[in-house]
Every structure is written in C-alpha cells, then in structure tokens.
Amino acid sequence: MLAALTAASAAVLRSTDLIGRTGGEEFVVLLPETDHEGAAELGQRLLAAARQISFPKPYRHLKLTISIGGVMLRDTDDLDSLMLRADRLLYAAKGAGRDQQLHSAPN
C-alpha cells in the first residue's frame, strides 16, 4: 500500500515538492513557494490520486483513504511548532471522517 501511495503521490507532486515518511503511516509534504490555495488544490489532487488506487487480488476490496492537515509556515515557526500544528489538523481530519483535508487559515 505504501508503494502504491508513493507512486500516486509522485504523479501529483511537482519536482520542487518534497515528501517524506515521518511515522508508520504518516507523511509530510513540503511545498516550497506555494500559497494556501495552491496547497489546498494539491491536497485535492492527492486525495483524488489516492482514491484511484486499486489493489490486486485478494486485496481488491480495499480502498485507500488519506487525511491531510495543511499549515503554512509562519515567521515564528520552528520545525516542532510547524509539525505540531499540522499534526493537530491531521487528527482533526481523521476525527471528522477521514479521506479529507483540513487547513489552517492563511497567515
């Protein structure tokens, strides 16, 4: 499943974007020089790409969902505060039913 998600993400992300795995099933995507609207659009493309993933037998019945917590870098952020804000939104998206994205308001 991780390989399928990685391939689907690579098809959506730009060459300047960075993706990395931060935990068991958690990833972080850095979108340099991307505004709030662009990040939300990219999130929608990631959601759509994940929904299109199909698996071979005997896993054909499985559907992959992703939840996204999107934040914009603030002047006062360090890595820990940035990740904490994103993590809170990620878990809020999961709690709201999964397979969706939540973003903080732009700065």
Catalytic machinery residues: 25
Tokens describing residue 73? 């870098």
* Sign, Cα dihedral of 47, 69, 94, 101: negative
CA 19 to chain CA centroid, Å, is 9
Residue-wise DSSP of 26-40: -EEEE-TT--HHHHH
